[in-house]
């Protein structure tokens, strides 16, 4: 299987530069462990509130004129939907986004506000077939959320930026779900700074990737198990392609508990002035509560996204007497 | 009176580069007015949670070896205290910070955690005399929060960065209190992009600078009037030095209401994933609710700080109904 290369990552970086925010590394005063000073890579500050814009924009920017005329399609109720909608609008490409009717109105509105055509289907199970109907009817190009080399290369630009900003980084903490983000970042860091350890972080309740990597073959956890975690962005599983990248370049995976994720969200809001969604707070939860399981040294935690339901955010931040 | 020059600003930028975060401009999808697209300059992401680090670090970095041995002193219960404490630790200088006993414990703790000596006094009125005692006893150098050319030059580096990142910016919105931030930014923009309009923003309840600038002479509002605003960082008044800068380079001042400040805080958290303190949300409140009073065009709002009491943040974000 061909893996994404450093050249792919560098080409992606050039392609996406006009569309994404060059996020800085933020030093954290709140980290308690002096032997492991912590920086944050705040991808929640991307225009759509998550790193997904990088991969989606890279995939769209590579389309030829013919494909651009036919348009793109994605099925997602999460950050990938908004990423494709936003990137398509920037590139002047028609985007169809297939979403279940039960998707919160605010997410449907946000996706429409970026100019995308939202196609509602009755259930999540119908999303994929509805998307393929649009592919068949219009010749539209399907943009997958993680299972594609262009998407992996786009997410990996985060790794290039981390090494550029801190050539002495020792540890990078990345959430793992479908594995596109972790694959891209681990590939970048392995190429540019092989002594740096990239550690994946999963919720205990959706730790299929850890199980799979330890066994050397993908583990399949039923969706109803994975759906238990509050980290709604971390309920997917690696594909063959992302699993191969993770095996090649990821150092290890640690897991965090649900209450640790909530506490990390509160710490990020109060001490780093960042709103993170549960999935985006998972690496910081590892830094705060699992330091003994991590290699020591200069540590960067990727805050992958900040699209959190306002009621959940208010609940996490509620000051209890 | 000598005003700060572009050369001062550029020297400050070189001096503070190792200590401050180079904040990006963040495009805002939530801005409703297509003729005035909005970007944020998130200074709440500085290590101490506010822009004040820029001015404090510039002032400290200019001290000679003799002054460094004697140490520095500041009186503040707000962001300036933490800025001086943090910058002094970075430079290996002893810092004494004078605070009233009634200062919230968390702010005293934060200041101590940066390695500063906190000197508690009974009332806010005693802060200044206590600080001058330390100056007399130790020969320590007083670092004022805004009334100093080095502090103004440090804050003005924000203006250099805005023009560097968007040479076509039309409008910059800046909070006004003691006027150090607005003076520095207005000076930078007037030198580099004279067609760009820098607009100050004040709470209606502490609008002394607007009154003063319209009259051409500083207005003095009693502290008990200024203390009414929720924007606790905007209760100071310009000094002679900052007033002169504002007269020279600020285009206008608009004011915002208290409920507009709270709403801007909620919008920033939910739609820009940024925690802003009330003072830091004031320019965004102007963009959201006073667009008709602002010049049209590409607009940057400075989010000056994010050190908000957790209970107030929770209250502003509470989902009602």
Q: Sort B258 into a burial class: Cβ within 10 Å, 0-12 / 13-18 / 19+.
A: middle
Query: What local confidence, expressed as pLDDT, does residue B289 receive?
Result: 96
Give DSSP secondary structure letters for B84-136.
HHHHHHHHT--EEEEEETTS-HHHHHHHHHTTPEEEEESSGGGHHHHHHHHHH
Rounded Cα distance, B277 and B305, in Å: 6
> Looking at beta carbons, which residues of chain B come within 8 Å of A23?
24
Question: Domain check: are B63 and B165 in the same one?
Answer: no
Rounded Cα distance, A154 and A61, in Å: 11
Rounded Cα distance, A285 and A260, in Å: 6
Question: Domain check: are B199 and B232 in the same one?
Answer: yes
- CB contact at 8 A, B91 and B69: no
Give me the CATH number covering residue B188: 3.40.50.1100
Question: Domain check: are B126 and B226 in the same one?
Answer: no
Residue A258 CA, distance from chain mean position: 19
Query: What local confidence, expressed as pLDDT, does residue A104 receive?
Result: 78
Q: Would an 8 Å CB–CB cutoff place A21 in contact with chain B?
A: yes
Of the candidates B132, B131, B140, the one whose C-alpha atom is nearest the C-alpha of residue B70 is B140
Question: Domain check: are B213 and B86 in the same one?
Answer: no
Q: Point out the residues of chain A with pLDDT beneath 50.
A: none
Question: Last residue of a domain, which of A142, A172, A198?
Answer: A142
Residue A177 lies in a domain: yes
Question: B118: which strand partners?
Answer: B97
Residue B258 lies in a domain: yes
> Is 70 exceeded by the pLDDT of residue B321?
no
Contacts of residue B246, defined as CB under 8 A and 6 or more positions apart, other chains included, come to: B176, B179, B182, B183, B186, B200, B209, B213, B238
Question: Domain check: are A81 and A201 in the same one?
Answer: no
Question: Domain check: are B237 and B165 in the same one?
Answer: yes
Question: Domain check: are B208 and B307 in the same one?
Answer: yes
Rounded Cα distance, A131 and B129, in Å: 71
Query: What local confidence, expressed as pLDDT, does residue B32 receive?
Result: 60
Q: Would an 8 Å CB–CB cutoff place B273 in contact with chain A?
A: yes
Q: How many domains does chain A have?
A: 2
Verify whether the Cβ–Cβ distance B306 to A273 is below 8 Å: yes
Question: What is the mean predicted confidence (pLDDT) over B71-79?
Answer: 90
Question: Last residue of a domain, which of A88, A121, A142?
Answer: A142
Residue of B21, B112, B273 to mutate, testing the A interface (most A Cβ within 10 Å of its Cβ) = B273
Reduced to 3 states, what is the DSSP secondary structure of residue A173?
strand
Q: Which of B49, B276, B319 sits opposite A310 (nearest CB)?
A: B319
> Looking at beta carbons, which residues of chain B come within 8 Å of A110?
29
How, if at all, do strands B38-42 and A95-100 pair? unpaired
- How far CA B52 is from CA of B87, B140, B154, B181, B286, in Å, comes to 10, 20, 8, 8, 22
Verify whether the Cβ–Cβ distance A317 to B317 is below 8 Å: yes
Q: Would an 8 Å CB–CB cutoff place A306 in contact with chain B?
A: yes
> Is 80 exceeded by the pLDDT of residue B122?
yes
Question: Domain check: are B161 and B305 in the same one?
Answer: yes
> Is 80 exceeded by the pLDDT of residue B318?
yes
Question: Domain check: are B215 and B307 in the same one?
Answer: yes
Q: What would the two tokens of residue A2 be?
A: 């061909």
Of the candidates B308, B262, B297, the one whose C-alpha atom is nearest the C-alpha of residue B282 is B262
Q: Would an 8 Å CB–CB cutoff place A222 in contact with chain B?
A: no
- CB contact at 8 A, B79 and B44: no
Query: What local confidence, expressed as pLDDT, does residue A319 receive?
Result: 78
Residue A1 lies in a domain: no
Reduced 3-state DSSP string for A244-297? HHHHHHCCEEEEECHHHHHHHHHHHHHHCCECCCHHHHHHHHHHHHCHHHCCCC
Question: Last residue of a domain, which of B78, B107, B142?
Answer: B142
Query: What local confidence, expressed as pLDDT, does residue B78 receive?
Result: 86
| A274 → chain B, closest CA residue | B274
Neighbour tally for A129: CB within 10 Å = 11
Verify whether the Cβ–Cβ distance B274 to A275 is below 8 Å: yes
Q: Which of A26, A27, A317 sits opposite B313 (nearest CB)?
A: A317
Q: Would an 8 Å CB–CB cutoff place B314 in contact with chain A?
A: yes
Verify whether the Cβ–Cβ distance B45 to A22 is below 8 Å: no
- CB contact at 8 A, B209 and B238: yes
Q: Would an 8 Å CB–CB cutoff place A24 in contact with chain B?
A: yes
Q: Would an 8 Å CB–CB cutoff place A273 in contact with chain B?
A: yes
Question: Domain check: are B11 and B126 in the same one?
Answer: no
Verify whether the Cβ–Cβ distance B314 to A310 is below 8 Å: no
Q: Give B183-218 pLDDT, tens digit per residue.
A: 999 999 999 999 999 999 999 999 999 999 999 999
Verify whether the Cβ–Cβ distance A273 to B276 is below 8 Å: yes
Q: Would an 8 Å CB–CB cutoff place B32 in contact with chain A?
A: no
Question: A173: which strand partners?
Answer: A199, A301
Q: Would an 8 Å CB–CB cutoff place A7 in contact with chain B?
A: no
Q: Would an 8 Å CB–CB cutoff place B79 in contact with chain A?
A: no
- CB contact at 8 A, B248 and B195: no
> Is 70 exceeded by the pLDDT of residue B31?
no
| B23 → chain A, closest CA residue | A24
Query: What local confidence, expressed as pLDDT, does residue A32 receive?
Result: 60
Min Cα distance B271 → chain A (Å) is 8
Verify whether the Cβ–Cβ distance A24 to B22 is below 8 Å: yes
- The DSSP 8-state label assigned to residue A3 in this structure reads P
Neighbour tally for A178: CB within 10 Å = 24
Residue A137 lies in a domain: yes
Rg, C-alpha atoms of chain B: 18
Verify whether the Cβ–Cβ distance B26 to A45 is below 8 Å: yes
B205: containing domain: 6-49+148-317
Residue of A32, A86, A273, A315 to mutate, testing the B interface (most B Cβ within 10 Å of its Cβ) = A273
Verify whether the Cβ–Cβ distance A114 to B29 is below 8 Å: yes
Verify whether the Cβ–Cβ distance A273 to B269 is below 8 Å: no
Q: Would an 8 Å CB–CB cutoff place A48 in contact with chain B?
A: yes
Looking at chain A, list the stretches that DSSP marks H as alpha helix, in order from N- to C-terminal side.
Answer: 6-16, 52-61, 65-70, 79-91, 105-113, 127-138, 149-165, 180-192, 208-215, 223-226, 240-249, 258-271, 278-289, 310-317
Rounded Cα distance, B127 and B201, in Å: 28
Min Cα distance B136 → chain A (Å) is 32
Q: Give B244-281 pLDDT, tens digit per residue.
A: 999 999 999 999 999 999 999 999 999 999 999 999 99
- CB contact at 8 A, B99 and B134: no
Residues of B designated as active site: 52, 304
- Chain A and chain B share a number of CB contacts under 8 A equal to 87
> Is 60 exceeded by the pLDDT of residue B239?
yes
Residues of A designated as active site: 52, 304
ipTM attached to this prediction: 0.95
Residue A31 lies in a domain: yes
Q: Which of A25, A49, A273 sits opposite B44 (nearest CB)?
A: A273
The 10 Å CB-count burial string (b at 16+, else e) for A271-307 is bbbbbbbbbbbbbbbbbbbbbeebeeebbbbbbbbbb
Phi (first) and psi of residue A118, to 5 degrees = -95, 125
Residue B1 lies in a domain: no
Tell me which residue has tokens 């960065």.
Answer: B161
- The DSSP 8-state label assigned to residue B233 in this structure reads G
Min Cα distance A56 → chain B (Å) is 17
| B306 → chain A, closest CA residue | A273
Residue A32 lies in a domain: yes
> Looking at beta carbons, which residues of chain A come within 8 Å of B318?
314, 318
Question: Domain check: are A40 and A87 in the same one?
Answer: no
Query: What local confidence, expressed as pLDDT, does residue A107 receive?
Result: 81
> Is 90 exceeded by the pLDDT of residue B33?
no
Q: Would an 8 Å CB–CB cutoff place A310 in contact with chain B?
A: yes
Rounded Cα distance, A130 and A148, in Å: 20
Question: Domain check: are B183 and B98 in the same one?
Answer: no
Min Cα distance A87 → chain B (Å) is 13
Min Cα distance B27 → chain A (Å) is 6
- CB contact at 8 A, B230 and B278: yes
């Amino acid at each position: 299987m061909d893996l994404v290369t450093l050249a792919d990552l560098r080409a992606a970086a050039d392609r996406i530069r006009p569309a994404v925010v060059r996020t800085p590394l933020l030093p954290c005063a709140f980290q308690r462990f002096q032997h492991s000073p912590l920086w944050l890579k705040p991808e929640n500050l991307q225009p759509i509130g998550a790193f997904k814009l990088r991969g989606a924009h890279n995939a769209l920017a590579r389309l030829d004129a013919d494909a651009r005329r036919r348009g793109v399609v994605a099925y997602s109720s999460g950050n990938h939907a908004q990423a494709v909608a936003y990137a398509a609008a920037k590139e002047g490409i028609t985007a169809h986004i297939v979403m279940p009717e039960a998707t919160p109105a605010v997410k449907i509105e946000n996706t429409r506000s970026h100019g995308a055509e939202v196609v509602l289907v009755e259930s999540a199970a119908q999303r994929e077939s509805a998307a393929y109907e649009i592919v068949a009817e219009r010749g539209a190009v399907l943009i997958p959320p993680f299972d594609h080399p262009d998407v992996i290369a786009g997410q990996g630009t985060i790794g290039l930026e981390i090494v550029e900003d801190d050539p002495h980084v020792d540890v990078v903490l990345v959430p793992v779900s479908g594995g596109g983000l972790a694959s891209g970042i681990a590939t970048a860091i392995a190429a540019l700074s092989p002594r740096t350890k990239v550690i994946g972080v999963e919720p205990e309740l959706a730790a299929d990737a850890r199980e799979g990597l330890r066994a050397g073959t993908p583990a399949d956890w039923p969706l109803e198990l994975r759906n238990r975690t509050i980290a709604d962005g971390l309920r997917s599983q690696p594909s063959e392609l992302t699993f191969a990248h993770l095996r090649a370049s990821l150092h290890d995976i640690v897991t965090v508990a649900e209450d640790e994720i909530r506490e990390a969200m509160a710490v990020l809001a109060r001490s780093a002035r960042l709103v993170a969604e549960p999935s985006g707070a998972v690496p910081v939860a590892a830094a705060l509560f699992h330091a003994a399981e991590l290699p020591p040294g200069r540590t960067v935690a990727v805050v992958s996204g900040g699209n959190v339901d306002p009621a959940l955010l208010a609940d996490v931040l509620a000051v209890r007497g």
